[in-house]
Every structure is written in structure tokens, then in C-alpha cells.
Amino acid sequence: MILSALLTSVGINLGLCFLFFTLYSILRKQPNNFIVYASRLVGKTKSEETHDFNLERLVPTPGWVKRAWEPSEEELLSTLGLDAVVFIRIFIFRSGVIEFGQYSSLFLVVNINLETFLQFWDFLRLWVHFCAAYVFTGVVCYLLHYEYSYISSKRVSYFYSSKPEPHQFTIAVRSIPVSSGSSVSEIVENFFKEYHHSTYLSHSVVRRTNKIQELINETDKLYRRLVFLKSSKDSQQTFKREGFLGLFGRKVNLLDHFEKKLEHLQDNVRMEQSSLAGKEIPAAFVSFKSRLGAAIALNIQQGTNPTEWVTEEAPKPQEVYWPFFSASFMKRWICNLVVVVAYIALTILFLIPVVIVQGLTHLEQLETWLPFLKDLLRLTFVSQVITGYLPSLILQLFLSFVPPIMILFTSIQGFISFSQIEKSACNKVWWFTVWNIFFANVLSGTALYQVSVFLEPKSIPKVLAQGVPGQASFFIAYVVTSGWTSLSSELLRLMPLLSSYCSWLCSKIIEEFEVPSFPYHSEIPRILFFGLLGVTYFFLAPLILPFLLVYYCMGYIIYRNQVTGMPF
């Protein structure tokens, strides 16, 4: 990729970032967008919106940056929890690493590379690079140790300062061996009274209660609708028409309608619960008198057969994922095998867009593949857009489908909590990104037209040594597209915004309100991958470091704004 193409890509992405920042600064001030940009405050019914016209709302201002910066770490910890604080600190740690790498490469490596007046300088330059790599590695290890110690102390403090919760005294037990003539409840009680008699407290057997769960979910959604309607000051939103899309028929009062429906659902839930409907399955939640008792039962093998009496930490009630409680060990093993095969197949299939992207970065190869576009490709601006901006954009579009697919894969692996699913999906996205965005791009960019290199394994290190620096400009363009522009679009929250406006234009029907969950499984792998690029290129191509530093600084401010749900 030539320098002009890289500058074109940076310019296009800077323009998009400026556009997104401007739109967000204006749209966040509009009262109708309060549910989109301050959703956490809406969830706490703290909306103070006014619908009077105000010219100031149409003027973009950077006030949100100051508001995002103001909350201290202790305030974030008390209001949002430890996960949000740790996520924000990832940006602090990564920016520190990149900043040190930038200074060391600027004042040491770059200056050494520019000096050529001594005959023995080539030999000295080699050792300067080696020493710089070792020093940088040592500093990164020290920063990692410091950050690990800091977060560990925060975690311990947060644990001791928080109130004990029931799930901390409870474990989940699956694959309970069932014998004829005895119920699952009796088997669990007899087993834990015999082997954990001093710490066992009680248990609750899991039942097939799909009907009750559906009623509870519907009741919860209806309750959130009702709370939002009561907190809204727009009287027009409390009425809708009975006909198609709320456009035809007589108007009804949504408050009365939802309250009657909620009472009916609550009666149905109580009836189902009183009848103890549902067949027992070989799984249970077992509670103990102390955390120590639960920890001992969790970490020892309960029986001679390791596939029976399988114990896991009990998730929080809202975190439970029910479908795989009744799954046998063999079923979970088969599901894991299917996921591994599907993961490998997806990884291989993703090489197709990677090859296409690398073909776009090499204009001469693109002219060979598409000779009828030769005249168009020779136009300066067109060639700069195609080779500089289009490859990273295409790759980012394909990569955007990966996190949802990984969530789908992980959800059939047998996990019993949403947190486990998200953590496993995060690991899958990370390794997928490292292989398909880093190694696949490097290899396809250097060895795509040198197939013979794979027949000589000894030459692979040489190919990597030549290919990694050669892909620096591509990764810079990828950072500004996948990093800068994606962060800006995350700030704008385009999809929820469009959904809100479509709902308002079509019928003004109030849909159920949910505070959006944070996509850790897609954002953390991206942050780590950019850190990998910084560590790899800090002395091979130091030009990438300022772009990474800008990304981490932007991410720190934007995600502080997102996780807090700042008011207008």
C-alpha cells in the first residue's frame, strides 16, 4: 500500500469520526433520544426530559467528554461494578504500553536507523534493536504485574465490601445418577447429608417448567413497559389504536390495558407454581451453611465416576441458562465436538475475504484479475480508495458477523450461565481474530503468489520476517477503520437510534425497555488485538503507534460515557 492510499484511508475515517461525533453531540440532547443515549438512567426512572424547543440542542458541544471524564474510579465501582472498572482499565494499561513503545522507538530505534556514517554501524544497529526489544518486553511485564496486583486488590476489596449473596453459598450439580423408585430430590438429599453432613443446608431440584418460565419472562417484559409508561411525561404515548400497527381502530389506554394483563399473568404464574408443574431432571442447586462448605463441595470429585455428580459454581439467578441442565455428559461432549468442527470450518472459510482483501491492496494483481477495470483503477483517487480504505472496510464488515456466530456456537456447548457463554465466546473471537486478521493477512499478503514457500518449512520464518513489516500500512488502515470509526459508531448507537425512530414513525407503540448489555465478547478481543499490533510493530514500523494511542484514548473516553449512561 502506497503512502497516498494510506493517507486517503486515514482522511476518510477521520471524516466519518468527525461526522459521528457531531451527530452524537446533537442527537444526545434531543428528549426523544433519552432512552437511546441515557438508557441506564431511564432504567432507574430518572428521566427529566422536556419537549420545549431549544436552539442550543441543535449546536454540537463537547460537554459529554467532560461528563464522561468526571466520575472517579470509586464512583464507577460503586455504581457499575467491578467488570466495568476492569474494562476501562484495559484502555489505561494498553495506552501506557503504547506510549512507552512510542517514546522508545522515537528516541532510540528511529534515531539509530537514521545514522549511517560509521562502517560498523549496521552491526551496532542490530544489537540496539535486540536491546530495545528486551527492554520493551521487561517494561510490559512490569506493567502487567502492577496492573494484575492492582486489579486483584480491587477484586478482594470489592468482595469483602459487598453483601453475601445466596449463589455464593450454592453449587450447581448435574448428571445426578437416578435410580428407580427414588426421586431426584431424595437422592440429592441423602447423598449430601451422608458426605457433607456438617455443611449441607438445603437443595432445589431443577424441573422442566417451560410454561412457568415463559409466563415469568412475559410478566417481566410487561412490567418494564408499565414502569416506563408511568415515568413518561408524554401523555400521547399512553394511548394506541387497536388495529394494524396501531394505525386503525379505537384508542385504548395502555396503562389500564397493561395493568389488567399483568394481573392476569401474575395469577397464571401463581397457579402454575402452586401446582408444582414440571418433571424433575437430574440436576439441582445445593446450598451450604458457609462459603467454605460450598467451595469444598465444588472442588472435590463427588463420586468414582467423573461423569456423574458434576459440580459447578452456581450462577446468579438472572444469569442462569437453562437448556443444558438436563443434558448428559455424552450429549455435551458431542456438542463440543460439533462446535470445534464448525469453528475450524468458519476459520477456513474466512480465508476467502482475507484473500480478496489482500488482492485489493496489491493493485497490479487486481488489474490481472479484472483487466476490464484497468482504466478505472489507474485513476489516482480510485486507486487510493481501493487500496487504502476498501480492504479494511471489507474485512471489518465480514468480521462484524463473527461475534454473534461465536455466541451461537458457545450457547450449544453445555454452559449453564450467560457469563460462561460470553467468556468462552470472547476467547473464540480472540483466537479467530489473531489467526484470520494477523497471520492470515501476513501470509496471504506475502506468500499468496509464492505457493512453493509452504513446501519448504525452513523458509517460513524468512517469509514472516519479510511479510510482517510489509503489512504495516494495511494494519494502520485497519486500526483507523476497525478502531476509530467503530468507536465513533458505537458512540452514536446507530441501530438502537434507528429502531427508536422507526417505532415512533410507525405507531408510537412503546416496546419493552431493556438496559443494553455490554458486548464484552466483541470489544475485548479487538482491544487485545490492537495491543498485539503495537507490541509487534513498535520497532518494525513505529508509525502505527500514534494511531493505536489515539484509539486507546478515544476508547477510554467513549466507553466511560457508554457504561455510565450520561445524562444530557
For the record, the C-alpha cell of 458 comes out as 525452513
Check if the beta carbon of residue 36 is closer than 8 Å to that of residue 500. Answer: yes
Nine cell digits for residue 466? 519479510
Give the pLDDT mean for 276-287: 80
Rounded distance, CA 366 to CA 554, Å?
Answer: 35
Q: What's the whole-model pTM score?
A: 0.80
pLDDT tens column, 355-369: 777 766 666 666 666
Q: Is residue 95 part of a domain?
A: no
pLDDT at 130 over 90: no
Residue 449, pLDDT above cutoff 80: no
Asked whether residue 517 is domain-assigned, the answer is no
pLDDT of 543 over the 70 cut: yes
pLDDT at 198: 92
Q: Could you report the per-residue pLDDT of 366-396, keeping only the tens digit for each?
A: 666 666 666 666 666 666 777 667 788 888 8
pLDDT at 148: 93
Q: In the structure, what pLDDT confidence band is assigned to residue 298 with cuts at 50, 70 and 90?
A: very high
b/e 73-101 (16+ beta carbons within 10 angstroms → b): eeebbeebebebbbbbbbbebbbbbbbbb
How far apart CA 533 and CA 542 sit, in angstroms, is 10
Nearest to 135 by CA among 182, 101, 84: 101
pLDDT exceeding 70 applies to what percent of the chain? 73
**C-beta neighbour count of 235 within 10 angstroms:** 7
Cβ 185 vs Cβ 205: under 8 Å: yes
Q: Which residues of 164-198 are buried (b: 16+ CB within 10 A; e: fewer)?
A: eeebbbbbbbbbbeeeeeeebeebbbebbeeebee
For residue range 398-417, what is the model confidence (pLDDT) as tens digits?
888 999 999 999 999 989 89
Q: What is the pLDDT of residue 91?
A: 92
Cα–Cα distance for residue pair 158/559, rounded to 1 Å: 22
In-domain check, residue 358: no
Q: What percent of the chain has pLDDT over 90?
A: 21
How many residues appear in the chain? 568
Q: pLDDT at position 497, please?
A: 73
The x, y and z cell numbers of residue 176, run together, are 445426578
C-alpha cell belonging to residue 373: 477495470
Residue whose C-alpha is closest to residue 422's, from 401, 407, 402: 407
pLDDT for residue 344 is more than 90 = yes
Residue 126 CB-density burial (10 A; 0-12 exposed, 13-18 middle, 19+ buried): exposed
The pLDDT of residue 331 is above 80: yes
Per-residue confidence (pLDDT) for residue 117, from 0 to 100: 45
pLDDT tens digit string along 166-208?
899 999 999 899 887 788 889 999 999 999 999 999 999 888 7
Query: Out of 105-114, 133-142, 162-171, 411-420, which region has the weakest mean confidence (pLDDT)?
Result: 105-114
CA dihedral 140, 483, 351, 540 (to 10 degrees): -40
Res 324 pLDDT > 80 = yes
- Least confident interval from 499-503, 528-532, 555-559: 499-503
Q: What is the rounded distance in angstroms from the CA atom of residue 85 to the CA atom of residue 79?
A: 10
- Domain coverage including residue 318: 166-326
- Which pLDDT belongs to residue 112? 64
For CA atoms 391, 396, 398, 402, give the dihedral sign. Answer: positive
Q: CB neighbours (10 Å) of residue 154? A: 17
Contact 8, 389 (CB under 8 A): yes
DSSP 306-349: TTSSEEEEPPPGGGB--TTSS--HHHHHHHHHHHHHHHHHHHHH
What is the Cα–Cα distance from 49 to 234, expressed in whole angstroms? Answer: 10
* Structural domain includes residue 114: no
How many secondary structure helices (H) and strands (E) does the chain include? 27, 6
What is the model's pLDDT at position 511? 47
Lowest mean pLDDT among 250-254, 268-272, 421-425, 537-541: 250-254
Q: Which of 98-107, 354-363, 475-484 has the lowest mean pLDDT?
A: 354-363
Residue 254 lies in a domain: yes
Phi, psi dihedral angles at 269 (to 5 degrees): -65, -45
Determine the Cα–Cα distance for residues 35 and 512; give it in Å rounded to an integer.
11
Q: Does 343 fall in a domain? A: no
Strongest mean pLDDT among 379-383, 488-492, 544-548: 544-548
CA 399 to CA 297: how far, in whole Å? 42
* Residue range 125-140: mean pLDDT, rounded: 81
- Report the distance separating Cα 28 and Cα 558, nearest Å: 14
List for the chain the helix, strand, coil content (%; round to 5).
Answer: 70, 5, 25
Q: Does residue 562 belong to any structural domain of this protein?
A: no
Number of domains comprising the chain: 1
* Closest to 493 (Cα-Cα) out of 12, 33, 64: 33
- Are 471 and 441 contacting, i.e. CB atoms less than 8 angstroms apart? yes
Residue 403 CA to residue 410 CA, distance in Å, equals: 10
Q: Where are the alpha helices (DSSP H) in 63-120?
A: 63-69, 73-80, 82-104, 110-114
Residue 193 lies in a domain: yes
Instruction: Copy the grid coordinates of residue 208.
Output: 422442566
pLDDT tens for each residue of 65-90? 888 888 888 888 887 788 888 999 99
